[in-house]
Amino acid sequence: MYDTILLPTDGSDGIGAAARHAGTIAGRFDATVHVLSVVDTRNRFESPSSGLSTDAWIEAERERAGTAIDATVAELPDDVSVETTQREGVPKTEIVDAVTEIPADLVVMGTHGRTGLDHYLIGSVAETVVRESPVPVLTVQLADE
């Protein structure tokens, strides 16, 4: 039923919960978990007074994405097949595009459960992926670990 599970990560605290779900499902179906982190190319701090150049922002994002992948892979069972990828762009768009390009049969991703003003201002990557993904999406509430 599932051959490839896409596990997007931004390195948030609690990502282990989503990784454990993905690992359990992968073990049951002998699937590969494809861990993805997106280098967010939208530099919200690029301006004459903000202090971060585009190059500095992208480099910091690449480092964050690499760390996020490593931390997420460490949460997966040792007997699960794992592949990793970094993509660059807008996270919600890159995740949805990766679903078909990998191709994945299932997406397992964490959600912060933001509501109210935080949801309005920050938005929800998970919500967009749920709405736009051509395959099932399992969302896991991220818990402080």
Rounded to 5 degrees, what angle do the CA atoms 16, 30, 96 make? Answer: 60
Handedness of CA 113, 11, 37, 43 (dihedral sign): positive
Q: What is the pLDDT of residue 120?
A: 46
Angle at which helices 125-132 and 91-101 cross, to 10°:
40
DSSP of 18-35 = HHHHHHHHHHHHTPEEEE
Confidence of residue 123 (pLDDT cuts 50, 70, 90): low
Instruction: Give tens-digit pLDDT for 7-33.
Output: 999 988 889 999 999 999 999 999 999
Q: Which CATH number fits domain 4-141: 3.30.200.20, 3.40.50.620, 3.90.110.10, 3.40.50.300?
A: 3.40.50.620
pLDDT at 136 over 90: yes
Q: What is the pLDDT of residue 62?
A: 94
Tell me which of 26 and 122 has the higher pLDDT.
Answer: 26
pLDDT at 107 over 90: yes
- The residue-averaged pLDDT of 102-121 equals 73
SS3 of the chain: helix, strand, coil, percent, to 5: 45, 25, 35
- The residue-averaged pLDDT of 34-43 equals 90
Q: What are the extents of the domains in the chain?
A: 4-141
Give the Cα separation of 68 and 135 in Å (integer).
Answer: 24
Give the Cα separation of 21 and 42 in Å (integer).
Answer: 30
Instruction: Give tens-digit pLDDT for 83-106.
Output: 999 999 999 999 999 999 999 999
Query: Distance of alpha carbon 102 from its chain centroid, rounded?
Result: 14
Q: What is the pLDDT of residue 103?
A: 96
Q: What is the pLDDT of residue 116?
A: 53
Neighbours of 105 (CB within 10 A): 17
Please answer whether residues 103 and 2 qualify as being in contact, where contact means their C-beta atoms are separated by less than 8 angstroms.
no
Q: What is the pLDDT of residue 58?
A: 87
